[in-house]
Chains A and B, each alone.
Chain A
Amino acid sequence: MAPPSRYCVPGERLCSTEEATAGSGTYTRHGFIFSSLAGCLERRSEDSGLPVVSVVRDSESQLLPNVGAVVTCKVCSINSRFAKVHILYVGSTPLKSTFRGTIRREDIRATEKDKVEVYKSFRPSDIVLAKVISLGDAQSNYLLSTAENELGVVVARSEAGVQMVPISWCEMQCPRTHTKEFRKVARVQPQFLQT
């Protein structure tokens, strides 16, 4: 039986900054912490220092891709200079409305950037893990980069329509036709490997 939770509205004064630090969904003003969302008040005690006060709305959280966040996106079209993607997830929370992003040719790999071919790194309808490097200016969308070992193609379908298995950092193989295709593959993180 959970204790009755305390709800708050935007602008409600929660406590002073001496008693706690401001978490998500709050803002500080004149030495006090105010709520910024209409939701449930949550108080978490940190080991070092003061407890963290935050306001949560369980159902949806309006998330926007921030600079430095790892996002999951789907490639919609490729070009010799860049690949256009739809950003689907930020971290592990799905986005309600898709945002558009661009992965430039020089941001696909960290080494040998001028020898990169976009056609050999991504194909349309691949699922890619990328990192946001910029919010973009007036003309362009979010700029993303896959220039790390853990970023790149996660799920891809072969020309036969079957999901492919990664065999190295630059190749994936189709289990049915055994043809190898070039992709910039993301390294599987150790916690997900079964050995």
Chain B
Amino acid sequence: MPLDHRRLCGPEESQPPSLWAALAAEDEDEEGAGAAPRDPCSLRPLFARAGLLSQAQGSAYVELGSGTKVLCAAWGPREAAEPGPGRLLCEFRRAPFAGRGARGRPGGLAEREAEREAAAALREALEPAVRLGRYPRARLAVSALLLQDGGSALAAAVSAAALALADAGVEMYDLAVGCALCRPPAATAAAWMLQPAEPEERRAAARLTLALLPALNQVSAVLGGGQGGPPEDWAQALRLGLDGCHRQYPVLRQSLLRAAQRRDAAAAATAAAASVA
């Protein structure tokens, strides 16, 4: 039988979906029950690694404990037609398998709009950190791919994009660290939580994403909205978010240092091999 290359073939055997549907329903109940006693100021474990893609000049992978995985690639200055300081072009894409459950309309307008908004937010967060004045008439490109959405996706993307740009050798003033907060609906306790997981973010009454430049202690972007409480609440949320960013910074810094050491070791090894051969 000729192979059909246009379609993805399913498995040979098929089973009724009701088996798996029951399991998913149980999972949801467990998560709902276990979410309550979570410390609102605790940070999820963060994994960051820079310098893993060979196709791009700089790359970074950030993974949060709640399951958010972001892969980001950056390219150095290329010629642009417009005069003036350099421009930063950001792109944010969600993998088709990133979310749980079925997608409403795959490839539809809503998804594209959300991606465009996220790309604009990424650009707003990264532009103050990059020394665009050093690259006149040039174009820097950053592309972020969300592999799995477990909450706080944009914050992880900001951190990954900053790491990728630094790994690509682009001159920057500082690394941008992103942190997300959310506030559960008013019925339950109204305290702001750091780095929400996906179900918490879905049920939240208000969400906030912060991007901070830690060494300069400057906030580069504040994004979010929702039904908030009094203004002091938002100020307190900002302080909590800044604190979260400062706590994440050492991990990102360490990953960048390790990537630089690995790159130098690899360069020294190839130079030694070339001189021997």
Using CB atoms and an 8 Å cutoff, list the residues of chain A in contact with chain B.
Answer: 5, 7-13, 25, 27, 29, 34, 36-40, 57-62, 64, 96-100, 135-138, 141-142
Contacts and interface: CB of A to CB of B under 8 A. Distances in A.
Nearest to A29: B216
Contacts of A40: 260, 264
B172 A11 contact: yes
Contact of B131 (A27, A38, A141): A27
B79 A97 contact: yes
A36 B260 contact: no
> Secondary structure of the A side of the interface?
loop
B253 interface: yes
Contact of B83 (A27, A34, A37, A136): A136
Interface stretch (B38-46, B90-98, B133-141): B133-141
B181 interface: no
Contacts of B167: 38
A98 B214 CA distance: 35
A36 B131 contact: yes
B53 interface: no
Contact of B267 (A10, A34, A58, A137): A58
B185 interface: no
A25 B172 CA distance: 9
Contacts of A25: 171
Contacts of B174: 10-11, 34
Contacts, number: 96
A27 B171 CA distance: 10
B31 interface: no
Given A12-B215, A34-B215, A64 B136 contact: yes
Given A27-B131, A60-B57, 14 more contacts: A7-B261, A10-B129, A11-B213, A11-B216, A12-B253, A29-B216, A58-B267, A59-B267, A64-B134, A64-B138, A135-B137, A136-B137, A138-B81, A142-B137
B173 interface: yes
- The 4 residue pairs across chains A and B that have the minimum distance between CB atoms: A11-B174, A11-B215, A10-B172, A38-B166
Nearest to B271: A58
A163 to B, nearest CB: 28
A98 B79 CA distance: 8
Contact of B78 (A39, A57, A97): A97
B237 to A, nearest CB: 25
Contacts of A99: 79
A10 B83 CA distance: 26
B59 to A, nearest CB: 13
B77 interface: yes
Given A9-B256, A13-B215, A64-B138, A37 B169 contact: yes
